[in-house]
């Protein structure tokens, strides 16, 4: 994992929309259901994010961001996204040390994490999808997560 994440020396090229691989509709469907059950409470029913998600709250923590085209989830590679979901995440500048994005590695299988991310990809513009495909070229989903 570490080696994959440090191999970031490539320059991302925005691909034409027709070069972006299409998403498996069964994965998207189960990913949407997982999203509704485990993610929507914080990230919003339509992945619109928490209100005022760009501003730190009274605890000095960043609220849950959107996963749609308004957010920045599409900037992360498949490897990074699955790591954030399985191990949890906090903004390094948060005033607290807790993981504001909870770890789902004991709740969801690697395959379920992959499908929920597939659902998020349906919310991005073709340009964002193309960027994320390039980002993931050398940083794909882990083949064996545990």
Distance CA 74, CA 124 (A): 7
Q: Find the binder of ligand HEC among 20, 79, 81, 118 (CB under 6 A).
A: 81
* 1 or 19: CB nearest ligand HEC: 1
Quick check: 65 binds ligand HEC (CB under 6 A)?
yes
Quick check: 111 binds ligand HEC (CB under 6 A)?
no
What x/- string results for residues 17 through 56 when contact with ligand HEC is judged by CB under 6 A? ---------------------xx-xxx-------------
Positions in the binding site for ligand HEC (CB under 6 A): 38-39, 41-43, 62-65, 71-73, 76, 81, 84-85, 89-91, 94, 100-102, 104, 116
């Amino acid at each position: 994992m570490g080696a994959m994440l440090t191999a970031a020396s490539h320059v991302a090229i925005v691909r034409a929309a027709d070069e972006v691989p299409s998403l498996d509709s069964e994965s998207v469907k189960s990913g949407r259901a997982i999203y509704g059950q485990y993610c929507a409470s914080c990230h919003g029913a339509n992945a619109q994010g928490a209100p005022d998600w760009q501003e730190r709250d009274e605890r000095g923590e960043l609220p849950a961001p959107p996963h749609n085209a308004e957010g920045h989830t599409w900037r992360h590679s498949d490897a990074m996204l699955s790591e954030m979901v399985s191990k949890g995440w906090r903004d390094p500048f948060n005033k607290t040390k807790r993981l504001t994005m909870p770890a789902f590695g004991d709740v969801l299988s690697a395959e379920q994490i992959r499908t929920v991310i597939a659902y998020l990809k349906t919310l991005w513009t073709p340009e964002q999808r193309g960027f994320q495909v390039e980002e993931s070229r050398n940083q794909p989903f882990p083949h064996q997560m545990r």
